[in-house]
């Protein structure tokens, strides 16, 4: 199909998505980047955030990822994610608790840089999940 490319989103546990898309936006470590049909080859590390993609003849889809890697070559893109969740997969109450705990930990006494980085990562992942869950709530 002209103007499209194959997208696979894979986690250690499952194939989260496979299909033809016309565009994708993903959270790189240095900010979001977009990919369209006939993109030059690219490999990028991903941070926690929201992935948005436009299905060919379908809706714009959103999912939260916890980080991973992205590769595109010859109109085939593969997103390998530690975790990838669509809105229907997200337990909003549990994620809100995770965010509260991480935020409380950051405002409390942090004993090491590693602990601070882990709490910041947990908070970033929780915010991405809540953003995706909120999109579904507004759309539904």
Query: Which pair of structure tokens corresponds to residue 4?
Result: 């499209």
Compute the chain's Rg from CA coordinates.
16
51-83 residue pLDDT tens: 999 999 999 999 999 999 999 999 999 999 999
Q: Decide if pLDDT at 2 tops 70.
A: no
Q: Looking up tokens 């991973």, which residue turns up?
A: 68
**Other residues' Cβ atoms within 10 Å of the Cβ of residue 44:** 17
Question: In angstroms, rounded to a whole number, what is the distance separating the alpha carbons of residues 28 and 68?
Answer: 9
89-136 residue pLDDT tens: 999 999 999 999 999 999 988 889 999 999 999 999 999 999 999 986
Chain-centre distance for alpha carbon 128? 7
Torsion of Cα atoms, 57 then 63 then 67 then 72, to 10°:
0
Domain ranges within the chain, ordered by starting residue:
5-86, 90-139
What is the H or E stretch that residue 122 is in? Answer: helix 113-139
Angle at 44 between CA 94 and CA 80, to 5 degrees: 50
CATH architecture of 5-86: Sandwich (2.60)
């Amino acid at each position: 199909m002209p103007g499209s490319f194959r997208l696979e989103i894979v986690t250690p546990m499952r194939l989260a998505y496979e299909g033809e898309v016309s565009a994708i936006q993903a959270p790189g470590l240095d900010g979001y980047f977009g990919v369209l049909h006939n993109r030059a080859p690219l490999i990028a590390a991903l941070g926690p955030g929201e992935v948005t993609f436009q299905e060919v003849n379908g809706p714009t889809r959103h999912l939260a990822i916890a980080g991973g890697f992205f590769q595109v070559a010859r109109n085939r893109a593969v997103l390998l994610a530690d975790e990838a969740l669509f809105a229907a997969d997200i337990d909003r109450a549990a994620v809100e608790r995770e965010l509260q705990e991480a935020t409380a930990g950051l405002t409390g006494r942090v004993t090491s840089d590693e602990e601070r980085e882990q709490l910041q990562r947990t908070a970033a992942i929780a915010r991405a999940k809540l953003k995706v869950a909120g999109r579904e709530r507004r759309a539904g």
